[in-house]
Structure 1
Amino acid sequence: MEPDVLIIGGGATGTGLARDLALRGLKSLLVEKSDINAGASGGNHGLLHSGARYVSNDMESAVECMEEGKLLKKLAPHCIDDCGGLFVAVEGDDDNYIADFPGHCEKSGISCRSVTPAEALEMEPGVSDKTIAVYEVEDAAIDPFMLSLENIADAKAHGSKLMCHTRAVRFEIENHKIVRVKLHNTLTGEDFHVEPKMVVNASGAWAGQVAALAGASPFTILCSMGTLLVTQSRISNGVINRLRPPANADILVPGGTVSIIGTTSVRVDDPDDIIPTVKETDEIVRVGAQMVPSLERVRYIRAYSGVRPLVSMGGDGADDRNVSRNFTLLDHESSGVDNFVTITGGKLTTYRLMAEKTADLVCRKLGNGFEKALCLTRIRPLPSTMEGKWTEPGVAPKRWVQKAPDVRDKILCECEMISEKTIDDIAGELKKNGELPDLLNIGKRSRLGKGPCQGAFCSVRVLAHMYDKGALTGEHGVGDIKAFLNERWKGQRPIFWGEQLIQAELTEAMHSGFFDLELT
């Protein structure tokens, strides 16, 4: 294959870049060593920032978030819950920070309206009765999986390609250019080569590792792990932020029918080795409850972690929250590799801008008229496609109720009301892309296993359905269900108390006791 551009990394930035380049007339091949949103793009709050969180310490990021957030609300409304948000201070919070907040917002051009604690309780009945100051901002929630799936779907519609479970393992460099890239399929073990005109490293926390393949000048990626908790039900109408300098457990974001509370910040050495801990979970519940007291009593169904790829410019200190959330675009021509660039850092909210700036650089370096190609993602709406259709919490039950259900269309996942037809639709799209319709792939593109039972019942039903349809054969399903349940199990271990502990014991009894599967 000889694509115009090889993109390494299938998160929001990589998929957004594939779409941007495709709309400019360039064909790209995007390779991802795991699956879509396997890194930071899948391990975040799903918060579409108004920018207000950064007004006190990172004004450039604040303004970028504000501008991009407004743009995305116009261009990708189907991916966004424009729920609004509050910044809430409680007794004991820093009076100086509270007093300075509206002024910082005004300097950044960010909308900020003061509301009384009484008004805030009407808007969000769950906030603490010890609330002393509240400001309303234009935060929103965004579905990162739908966002990335829709971007890559539009890119493919314009001639680009996606290959998941494909790792770049070697660059062949001649005359200061990458002429061939060796790729390895981690599922089949197959090795093959591509000969791109340009290579873009959009691998997030792994950007340093990929850059090293080209012998590019080293740069420091700080891997900051953040852990978040998912509640069984939605406990706020909009986003609720703690009105204080960024710290642990200070953002509550609605995610359709659930809520997500976090996050933490822990420096890690290996972005592939991250597991939520009991210590972090306890901290999130304790601190979060100061802002929303019901967080001490609600049922949590899962914990998960992601790694922020922060680019260190030196002098950042020990606290990763002091590192800028701005993005970094590096042209490795200065390192003697003329057709290789890296884009990393940034926020989910600024993914489109990151892709635009990267595409601008790629087009300038390619020349041949491409330097005159305009960015269309700034004005062209993101299409809604089948590939991103089923990721939003609560969508399947809503659609089931809105139409007269077909009694022949059996429900396979009762928590999220996912039917056989939904599974068949997703499996069909996976087959079109050359992907196997197994539990892990289906789960990434739907709500499968994300309800209170965390896959205890639906995993077996969907797997059996796939075998009945002939989509899976042989013993593949044994490894598939173990991998799927272990991924869900990893997220339950730090929250083993109350109802979820009972659920976990039932899951273990069924799958370890009855089916003799080992859950690790």
Structure 2
Amino acid sequence: MEFDVAVIGGGINGLFTALDMSLRGLKVVLLERGSIGGGTSGRMHGLLHSGARYVVTDPKAAIECAEENRIIARIAPHAVDDTGGYFVAITKDDLDFQEEFISGLRRANIDYREVDARDAAREEPNLNPEVKAVIEVPDKVVYARELLMSTAISAYNEGALIIQNAEVIGFDINGNEITNARVRDDATSNIRRINARVFVNAAGPWAGRIASMAGINVDIMPTMGVMVVYRHRLTRRVMNRMRPPSDGDILLPYGSESIMGTTAVIVEDPDNLAITKDDIDFLTSEGFQMVPALAKEPVVRAYASVRPLISVPCATGREVTRDFMVIKHEKPSNLVSVIGGKFTTGRLVGERIADEVSGILGANKASRTSSYVLFGADLNRDVKDLDIEAKSIIQSFRGSVDEERGLIAALSLILYQASRRGRSLLGW
């Protein structure tokens, strides 16, 4: 089969790219070396940013996050918990930052409300009683796997092939263009070839590795962030430290648990990460300053994610922008790469990549993803088009003790079926 576009990478950027281009009528295949969401996107913190965190240090990223926060909540309500968020000042330095923080919120047009510390304590009984000031912002929690799988299934429903366990290991290049991607089929260990007019490198922290296969350099700063999961949900809202972005300043309620994050350490190999007891102790200590009950809370586990930040000489992981960059390469001329960005802005990244690819292919349809309600948002609507096995599983959860958990089980099955069908259509 020949495709208009082959997308490499099944994280948030690649999935929304595949959906956006499928909605424009292009023939798309997405290649993911493991499972959808198995890389950076499936290991994110859980925060759907309001943009408030970046209003002082990274205002462009703040404005993008603010708009995408509203869009994701609208197109994927099943994957979003509208918790709201508090920014809390604990020390004098935090309090001194408040005026600059509020000015940034106003410039970015982000809704906020100053909350009396006593009222905040009544709303959040576990909040540090020494808190000096509180600002409320529209932070939300996003359930990563639900959103990723819903986007993948939506892209599949619009005609894209979603192929899991398909690792790109090289390219065939003729003159100034890639003709084929060489793909290792992990199910059989066979080497396959995928032909496309344009190739999109959306491999996150592995994007530099993919680009090197085409003989070009893409500067990625792979930056590891550690998160710690605690047994109980200690707050109703997201808790942020009122200071410039730094390590250990966000405590997030995720379902019945709490997640504290995060760190920022530049790493050489995104496949080789080490989490230490010091990481866990540090994050717990920082979280304790906002929510003292965290110090006595059992740790369930810790995990790490690698951000594909734009490389800046002599900068640390905290100094680098959380904005993204779409690169149309001159040679090979049919390769487009993306670096940077956040989970919150994944839909926007997909739109910008699709605009670039459409220009290459001479397609003139506009993006529709900002108003496209994803699969899973309304199962009464979506279930009609499912096969009997998937429909039966969804219906079996209704009225049961685990009804709320049924969606992710159903999405997993449907995505598995979609990937198998894609393999069959490719003759794999």
- TM (norm. structure 1) is 0.74
- Higher RCO structure, 1 or 2 (CA under 8 Å, sep 6+): 2
Q: Residues 34 and 300 of structure 1: is their aligned pair in 2 closer, same or farther, counting only changes over 3 Å?
A: same
Q: Percent identity at matched positions?
A: 36
- TM-superposed CA distance for 1:138, in Å, is 0.5
Distance 2:203 2:415 in 1: 25
Distance 1:326 1:424 in 2: 33
Q: Which residue of 1 aligns with 2:392?
A: none
Q: Which residue of 2 aligns with 1:263?
A: 262
Q: Residues 432 and 343 of structure 1: is their aligned pair in 2 closer, same or farther, counting only changes over 3 Å?
A: closer
- TM-superposed CA distance for 1:404, in Å, is 5.6
Q: Which residue of 2 aligns with 1:378?
A: 370
- TM-superposed CA distance for 1:219, in Å, is 2.8
- TM-superposed CA distance for 1:292, in Å, is 0.6
Distance 2:100 2:411 in 1: 51
Q: Residues 262 and 422 of structure 1: is their aligned pair in 2 closer, same or farther, counting only changes over 3 Å?
A: closer
For 1:366, give the aligned amino acid: L
Distance 2:411 2:76 in 1: 22
Q: Which residue of 2 aligns with 1:434?
A: 420
Query: How many pairs were matched up?
Result: 407
- 2:150/2:411 contact within 8 Å kept: no
For 2:60, give the aligned amino acid: E
* 1:302-345 superposed Cα distances (whole Å, 9 cap, x missing partner): 1100001111143x52x211100000100012xx2111000121
Distance 2:414 2:92 in 1: 55
Q: Residues 401 and 234 of structure 1: is their aligned pair in 2 closer, same or farther, counting only changes over 3 Å?
A: farther
Secondary structure, in 3 states, of the residue corresponding to 1:178?
A: strand
Distance 1:188 1:431 in 2: 18
Matches within 5 A, 1:287-298: 287-298=286-297
Distance 2:410 2:42 in 1: 24
Distance 2:158 2:67 in 1: 27
Distance 1:401 1:148 in 2: 21
For 1:311, give the aligned amino acid: I
Q: Residues 423 and 220 of structure 1: is their aligned pair in 2 closer, same or farther, counting only changes over 3 Å?
A: closer
Q: Which residue of 2 aligns with 1:454?
A: none
Q: Does 1:279 align with 2:271?
A: no
Q: Does 1:226 align with 2:225?
A: yes
4+ aligned runs moved over 4 Å, structure 1: 399-402, 416-419, 421-429
* 1:81-132 superposed Cα distances (whole Å, 9 cap, x missing partner): 0111000111343333123211111111111211111011122111101101
- TM-superposed CA distance for 1:163, in Å, is 1.2
For 1:121, give the aligned amino acid: A
Matches within 5 A, 1:334-483: 336-367=331-362, 370=363, 372-384=364-376, 403=399, 426-427=412-413, 430-434=416-420
Secondary structure, in 3 states, of the residue corresponding to 2:263?
A: coil
Secondary structure, in 3 states, of the residue corresponding to 2:104?
A: helix
Q: Which residue of 1 aligns with 2:323?
A: 326
Distance 1:110 1:422 in 2: 32
Matches within 5 A, 1:193-272: 193-216=193-216, 218-272=217-271
Q: Residues 72 and 92 of structure 1: is their aligned pair in 2 closer, same or farther, counting only changes over 3 Å?
A: same
Q: Which residue of 1 aligns with 2:122?
A: 122
- TM-superposed CA distance for 1:275, in Å, is 2.9
Gaps of 5+ in 1: 390-398, 406-410, 436-520
Q: Residues 259 and 214 of structure 1: is their aligned pair in 2 closer, same or farther, counting only changes over 3 Å?
A: same
Distance 2:26 2:338 in 1: 18
- 2:146/2:408 contact within 8 Å kept: no
Distance 2:73 2:319 in 1: 28
Distance 2:347 2:411 in 1: 28
Secondary structure, in 3 states, of the residue corresponding to 1:433?
A: helix
Secondary structure, in 3 states, of the residue corresponding to 1:246?
A: coil
- 1:8/1:31 contact within 8 Å kept: yes
Q: Residues 424 and 226 of structure 1: is their aligned pair in 2 closer, same or farther, counting only changes over 3 Å?
A: closer
Q: Which residue of 2 aligns with 1:26?
A: 26
- 2:95/2:132 contact within 8 Å kept: no
- TM-superposed CA distance for 1:15, in Å, is 0.8
- TM-superposed CA distance for 1:300, in Å, is 1.8
- TM-superposed CA distance for 1:431, in Å, is 4.2
- TM-superposed CA distance for 1:401, in Å, is 9.5
For 1:364, give the aligned amino acid: G
RMSD between superposed Cα atoms in Å: 2.4
- 1:7/1:202 contact within 8 Å kept: yes
For 1:93, give the aligned amino acid: D
Q: Residues 278 and 193 of structure 1: is their aligned pair in 2 closer, same or farther, counting only changes over 3 Å?
A: same
Comparing 143-152 with 88-97, greater Cα deviation is found at: 88-97
Distance 2:103 2:149 in 1: 38
* 1:344-387 superposed Cα distances (whole Å, 9 cap, x missing partner): 210111101000000000011011xx1x101010222222178x
- 1:275/1:304 contact within 8 Å kept: no
Secondary structure, in 3 states, of the residue corresponding to 2:246?
A: coil
- 1:330/1:341 contact within 8 Å kept: yes
* 1:234-292 superposed Cα distances (whole Å, 9 cap, x missing partner): 11111110111111211011112212111011111000011321110010011110111
* 1:49-105 superposed Cα distances (whole Å, 9 cap, x missing partner): 110100111000001001111122222111110111000111343333123211111
Q: Residues 432 and 37 of structure 1: is their aligned pair in 2 closer, same or farther, counting only changes over 3 Å?
A: closer
- 2:156/2:418 contact within 8 Å kept: no
Distance 2:54 2:405 in 1: 39
Q: Which residue of 1 aligns with 2:155?
A: 155
Q: Residues 309 and 85 of structure 1: is their aligned pair in 2 closer, same or farther, counting only changes over 3 Å?
A: same
* 1:456-508 superposed Cα distances (whole Å, 9 cap, x missing partner): xxxxxxxxxxxxxxxxxxxxxxxxxxxxxxxxxxxxxxxxxxxxxxxxxxxxx
- TM-superposed CA distance for 1:400, in Å, is 9.1
- TM-superposed CA distance for 1:19, in Å, is 0.6
- 1:229/1:302 contact within 8 Å kept: yes
Distance 2:83 2:148 in 1: 21
